[in-house]
């Protein structure tokens, strides 16, 4: 009987698949007891493993989790975006190239956490862990990379009921980002539920109207608040600026008149020895508006400190108690910085 | 004891045939040493090749053997399989007097021996080969899922770890009890 190299001549694609399977399983047949290697060698092996595989290794057992935790691999700016029924988690790995004095992004990994499974973006791969809830996935990732807080928590289009659960997932975050996809109601509730865990808050939608007064947001005691909505400018008044209790406020786009900015500066100048918490206020007005410097500084003694003729105007205002505020104006943008 | 004169292949000539660095420098004959593994097969290796191994290099420096003494007293590495030692010797000969390039094509390919090779290379303190071997071990799991990694790296489950720990404790307890009984018997 003649022999053929291909036992399935009529089904060559099947034969090809079969060969691939055999080759693949051949790799599986050469296992290595990696945990029996000398400690230093095992540590070096783990150093050589890519971050994604290191995470996969950490999921194998308690022992491997501890090994990865001890390996002191670091990640940067872990970010979580919360969707309707899952969390999209992004981790980044930076490198210090030789002759550079700054870090460069080496690679980033994106995971979608569901209960019992994690999906890897771009690898069409699903990691299953029956006993893991979304909270467990997040806690595991933060634990192995020694992160007690995440950099950014993004609230995308999710349900109100899910927000309480989210608060349990993330004890702290540097930046809370509330997407433009969220409804007014969700944005408002997400802010009040989650701002205590964040250092900075960013809104991507103007939710303020007669029913939702902006003052409630501006009087909160925290570090940084940013509103960004180019479609619906945020109406701002002198009273809003006077009740402000946030160190760093950015509004893009704000709707305020020069007259009110002028009154604000006059009141600040008169307020000797009074406490005013804000240090930086950055306002971008609508594109077609060009801020009139004369209107803003009418009746106010100031010093022009424009450093270069080509620079935009910068002004210094000194108060009786020695406090100083610098005002920078560029077309439709105005920036107050208490020095 | 059988003996083969390894390390004198074309890849690593036994006698220095290359021109000396300086025409004025006198030609120093290369010295050779002998090693054997578990299989007792003796490998002849030049001192230059053995410099890759910090362990053997240290032994040579301390002993100050003559050629005859070295031949009569091969370094025994009873904890290393013969074929593994052969791989290590071949690698040392191929890289005699030169650093390993980042992509080394002359390195041992037998992945099934990788674990024993790492242990041997670690014992012999051959830093460059050890680095390469560890990288190979790391490469085995590239693009793999937790379950695949568990299989490839033979990682026990938590339940298996717990059972092994219990067993080890039980064994240690028995041994301690045995020692106590023996000590009591001696005292009597």
Contact A28 B114 (CB under 8 A): no
Q: Is A38 on the interface with B (CB under 8 A)?
A: yes
List the helix and strand counts (H, then E) for chain A: 11, 17
pLDDT of residue B8: 37
The answer to whether the CB of A248 falls within 8 A of the CB of A279 is: yes
d(CA A98, CA B14): 40
**A187 vs B70, residue with greater confidence:** A187
Contact B118 A37 (CB under 8 A): yes
Q: Is A63 on the interface with B (CB under 8 A)?
A: yes
pLDDT of residue B119: 93
- Residues of B in Cβ contact (< 8 Å) with A53: 138, 141-144, 149
Contact A61 B158 (CB under 8 A): yes
d(CA A59, CA A52): 11
In this complex, the residue of B137, B142, B150 whose CB is nearest that of residue A60 is: B150
Q: Is A27 on the interface with B (CB under 8 A)?
A: yes
In this complex, the residue of B144, B154, B157 whose CB is nearest that of residue A33 is: B154
DSSP string, chain B: --B---S-STTS-SS--SPPSSTTSPPPPPPEEEEE-TT--EEEEEHHHHTT-HHHHHHHHHH---HHHHHHSPEE-TTS-HHHHHHHHHHHHHTTTSPPPSS-TTS---GGGHHHHHHHHHHHT-HHHHHHHHHHHHHTTTT--HHHHHHHTTPPPHHHHHHHHHHHHHHHHHHHHHHHHHHHHHH-
- Residues of B in Cβ contact (< 8 Å) with A27: 140, 152
pLDDT of residue A308: 72
- d(CA B69, nearest CA chain A) in Å: 34
Predicted confidence band at B104 (pLDDT cuts at 50, 70, 90)? low
Mean pLDDT lowest for which of A35-39, A291-295, B17-21, B169-173? B17-21
- d(CA A126, nearest CA chain B) in Å: 8
pLDDT of residue A12: 40
Instruction: Please give the DSSP secondary-structure letter assigned to residue A233.
Output: P
pLDDT of residue A101: 77
**A49 vs B10, residue with greater confidence:** A49
Q: Is A123 on the interface with B (CB under 8 A)?
A: yes
- d(CA A6, nearest CA chain B) in Å: 27
Q: Cβ neighbours of residue B11 under 8 Å, at least 6 residues apart?
A: B90, B93, B94
Whole-number CA gyration radius for chain B: 23
Mean pLDDT per segment of 10 residues, for chain A of length 339 residues? 38 36 42 92 94 96 96 91 93 82 85 95 88 94 94 92 87 94 91 92 88 86 92 92 94 94 94 84 94 93 81 87 91 93
Q: Are strands B75-76 and B32-36 parallel, antiparallel or unpaired?
A: parallel
Q: What is the interface size between A and B, counted as CB pairs within 8 Å? A: 99
Q: How far is CA B155 from CA A9, A40, A249, B158, B164, in A?
A: 40, 18, 52, 9, 13
Categorise residue A331: left if φ over 0, alpha if ψ from -120 to 50, beta otherwise. Answer: left
d(CA B131, CA A45): 9
Asked if residue B10 has pLDDT above 70, the reply is no
Domain B32-149 in CATH 3.30.710.10: yes
Instruction: Please give the DSSP secondary-structure letter assigned to residue A245.
Output: -
- Residues of A in Cβ contact (< 8 Å) with B145: 56, 125, 127
pLDDT of residue B24: 53
Asked if residue B160 has pLDDT above 80, the reply is yes
pLDDT of residue A56: 96
pLDDT of residue B70: 80
Q: Cβ neighbours of residue B63 under 8 Å, at least 6 residues apart?
A: B69
Helices (H), A195-329: 215-218, 238-243, 258-270, 293-296
Contact A32 B149 (CB under 8 A): no
**B83 vs B100, residue with greater confidence:** B83
Helices (H), A132-243: 134-144, 160-169, 184-194, 215-218, 238-243
The answer to whether the CB of A339 falls within 8 A of the CB of A325 is: yes
- d(CA A172, nearest CA chain B) in Å: 29
Tell me the ipTM for this assembly: 0.76
The reported pTM is 0.78
Contact A56 B146 (CB under 8 A): yes
- d(CA B96, nearest CA chain A) in Å: 24
- d(CA B30, nearest CA chain A) in Å: 33
- d(CA A228, nearest CA chain B) in Å: 40
Question: Could you give the 3-state DSSP secondary structure of residue A267?
Answer: helix
Q: Is A57 on the interface with B (CB under 8 A)?
A: yes
d(CA A321, CA A111): 54
Asked if residue B67 has pLDDT above 80, the reply is no
Q: What is the mean pLDDT of chain B?
A: 80
In this complex, the residue of B119, B141, B157 whose CB is nearest that of residue A53 is: B141
- Residues of B in Cβ contact (< 8 Å) with A64: 155
In this complex, the residue of B130, B140, B146 whose CB is nearest that of residue A32 is: B140
d(CA B150, CA A231): 52
- d(CA B141, nearest CA chain A) in Å: 7
d(CA A323, CA A156): 41
pLDDT single digits (tens) A125-150: 899 999 999 999 999 999 999 998 99
Closest residue in A to B130 (Cα) is: A41
For an interface test with A, give the residue of B84, B114, B146 to mutate (most A CBs within 10 A): B146
Domain definitions of chain A by residue range: 33-273
End-to-end CA distance of chain B: give it in Å, rounded.
47
For an interface test with A, give the residue of B54, B141, B156, B158 to mutate (most A CBs within 10 A): B141
d(CA A202, CA A191): 9
Predicted confidence band at B107 (pLDDT cuts at 50, 70, 90)? low
């Amino acid at each position: 009987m003649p022999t053929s190299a291909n036992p399935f001549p009529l089904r060559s694609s099947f034969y090809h698949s079969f060969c691939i399977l055999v080759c693949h399983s051949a790799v599986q047949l050469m296992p290595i007891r990696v945990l029996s290697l000398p400690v230093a060698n095992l540590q070096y092996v783990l150093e050589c493993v890519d971050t994604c595989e290191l995470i996969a290794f950490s999921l194998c057992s308690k022992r491997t989790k501890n090994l990865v935790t001890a390996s002191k691999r670091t990640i940067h700016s872990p970010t979580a975006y919360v969707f309707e029924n899952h969390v999209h988690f992004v981790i980044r790995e930076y490198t210090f190239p030789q002759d550079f004095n700054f870090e460069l992004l080496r690679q980033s990994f994106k995971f979608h956490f569901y209960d019992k499974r994690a999906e890897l973006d771009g690898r069409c791969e699903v990691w299953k862990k029956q006993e893991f809830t979304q909270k467990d996935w997040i806690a595991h990732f933060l634990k192995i990379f020694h992160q007690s807080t995440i950099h950014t928590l993004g609230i995308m289009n999710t349900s109100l009921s899910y927000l309480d659960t989210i608060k349990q997932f993330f004890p702290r975050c540097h930046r809370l980002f509330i997407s433009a996809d969220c409804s007014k109601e969700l944005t408002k509730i997400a802010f009040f539920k989650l701002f205590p865990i964040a250092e900075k808050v960013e809104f991507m939608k103007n939710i303020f109207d007669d029913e939702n007064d902006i003052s409630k947001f501006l009087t909160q005691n925290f570090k940084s608040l940013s509103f960004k909505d180019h479609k619906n400018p945020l109406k701002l008044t002198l009273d809003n600026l006077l009740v402000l209790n946030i160190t760093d406020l950015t509004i893009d786009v704000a709707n305020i008149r020069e007259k009110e900015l002028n009154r604000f500066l006059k009141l600040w100048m008169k307020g000797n020895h009074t406490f005013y918490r804000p240090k930086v206020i950055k306002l971008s007005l609508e594109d077609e508006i060009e801020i009139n410097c004369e209107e803003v500084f009418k009746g106010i003694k100031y010093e022009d400190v424009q450093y270069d003729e080509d620079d935009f105007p910068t002004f210094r205002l000194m108060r009786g108690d020695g406090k100083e505020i610098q005002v920078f104006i560029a077309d439709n943008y105005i920036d107050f910085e208490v020095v | 004891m059988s003996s083969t004169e390894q390390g004198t292949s074309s890849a690593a000539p036994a006698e220095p045939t290359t021109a000396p660095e300086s025409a004025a420098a006198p030609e120093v004959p290369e010295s050779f040493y002998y090693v054997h593994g578990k299989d007792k097969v003796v490998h002849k290796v030049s001192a230059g090749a053995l410099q890759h191994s910090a362990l053997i290099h240290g032994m040579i420096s301390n002993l100050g053997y003559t050629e005859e003494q070295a031949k009569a007293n091969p370094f025994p590495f009873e904890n290393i399989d013969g074929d593994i030692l052969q791989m290590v010797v071949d690698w040392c000969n191929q890289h005699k007097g030169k650093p390993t390039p980042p992509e080394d094509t002359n390195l041992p390919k037998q992945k099934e021996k990788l674990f024993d090779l790492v242990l041997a290379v670690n014992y012999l303190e051959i830093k460059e080969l050890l680095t390469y071997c560890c990288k190979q071990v790391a490469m085995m799991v590239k693009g793999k899922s937790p379950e695949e990694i568990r299989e490839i790296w033979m990682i026990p489950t938590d339940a298996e770890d717990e059972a092994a720990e219990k067993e080890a404790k039980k064994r240690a307890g028995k041994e301690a009890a045995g020692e106590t009984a023996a000590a009591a018997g001696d005292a009597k």
